[in-house]
Chain A
């Protein structure tokens, strides 16, 4: 009898909260961790210096404008006669300290990242209007295989002969984080 009364007056408490199964919650947490690890790298000067918002490549950990008034030019590889390849070859130069990598160049203007926060950068990176029409699979490949991206972990020495600063996450951890983020659906967490 008591059971019957209780059942008849019981009403669930109204709430907007819907519980997320433990697995899903864990997945989301892992995705967010992977996202932030990936973005710790993509917001480092080693990456941002070549994604300028003003057509001027940046140099150094302080991201100062490239010396000698060098700018993007029409091909993203400098001016007509004085271009990136006038000084930068396909490898770091151990004598002059000029950094180098295959296809040394700026990211196109549509891929400008300087001044954006990590969430905006991620949106820009995944937006086909701005990322050169790349699919998520192609972006993943770019981040994990492209010579110029991976150069960030082999940046050589600066003009004083000191090693250039590395991104804050190791190459191996970065690649794992990128793969994890893309495999779990590449959701950009809210700010």
Chain B
């Protein structure tokens, strides 16, 4: 079977025999995008979080057949070194990562959260950012999430200034 999808703005048509292949394997092993990580394979840790049509999805638990015709964004497509996404920028400034393994999943989950709630409270963060970090960087992440929200709101304000 052939699955067509757009990953980080690029179209791909992928031949597969098993339509239940996790999207994570396709992203990492076929498309070679290694930023999205495998942690548990059981939809429990969030290391594999990416966006499907703008929604946070745990790609280890997402059969590739559901990606047909959809827009996928991975950490590589969120931003890059020259033009980082506000979440990536805040992560750098707060020096969040320790080993780094869980971080792409957290950043993708945060980017999805800020699209839904531009000014998340600590409670919103507790509810929505439930990935697992074995290094325990949660404290720095919380600071980075608030900072990312401020950065993103500032950018939005420049792009769409509220009419006085």
Interface centre among B115, B126, B127, B130 (most CB of A within 10 A): B127
- In the assembled complex, the CB of A23 is this many whole angstroms from the nearest CB of chain B, namely 54
Complexed CA–CA distance, A95 and B129 (Å)? 24
Given A95-B20, A159-B42, verify A81-B63 contact (CB < 8 Å). no
Query: A80 — nearest CB in chain B belongs to which residue?
Result: B116
Which B residues touch A87, using CB under 8 A? 43, 58, 61
From A68, A86, A159, B57 is in contact (CB under 8 Å) with A86
Whether the pair B115, A81 counts as a contact (CB closer than 8 A) is: yes
Whether the pair B130, A82 counts as a contact (CB closer than 8 A) is: yes
The A interface, classified by DSSP as helix, strand, loop or mixed, is loop
Whether the pair B56, A86 counts as a contact (CB closer than 8 A) is: yes
From A71, A86, A94, B20 is in contact (CB under 8 Å) with A94
Whether the pair A86, B55 counts as a contact (CB closer than 8 A) is: yes
Given A81-B56, A85-B55, verify A93-B61 contact (CB < 8 Å). yes
Given A89-B66, A96-B22, A96-B61, verify A80-B128 contact (CB < 8 Å). yes
From B20, B58, B115, B128, A79 is in contact (CB under 8 Å) with B128
- In the assembled complex, the CB of B121 is this many whole angstroms from the nearest CB of chain A, namely 12
Which residues of B come within 8 Å of A, CB atoms? Answer: 20, 22, 41-44, 49, 55-58, 60-63, 66, 109, 112-113, 115-117, 124, 126-130
| 1/0 contact string of A69-93 vs chain B (CB within 8 Å) | 1110100000111110111011101
Complexed CA–CA distance, A97 and B56 (Å)? 19
Contacts A80-B116, A81-B113, A86-B49 known; list 20 others, CB within 8 Å: A69-B126, A80-B127, A80-B128, A81-B112, A81-B115, A82-B109, A82-B128, A82-B129, A85-B57, A87-B61, A89-B61, A89-B62, A93-B62, A94-B20, A95-B22, A95-B60, A95-B63, A96-B42, A98-B42, A159-B42
Whether the pair B117, A80 counts as a contact (CB closer than 8 A) is: yes
Q: Does A11 contact B (CB under 8 A)?
A: no
Complexed CA–CA distance, A167 and B92 (Å)? 51
Which B residues touch A69, using CB under 8 A? 126-127, 130
Complexed CA–CA distance, A46 and B80 (Å)? 45
Which B residues touch A67, using CB under 8 A? 44
Which B residues touch A82, using CB under 8 A? 56, 109, 112-113, 127-130
From B41, B115, B128, A96 is in contact (CB under 8 Å) with B41
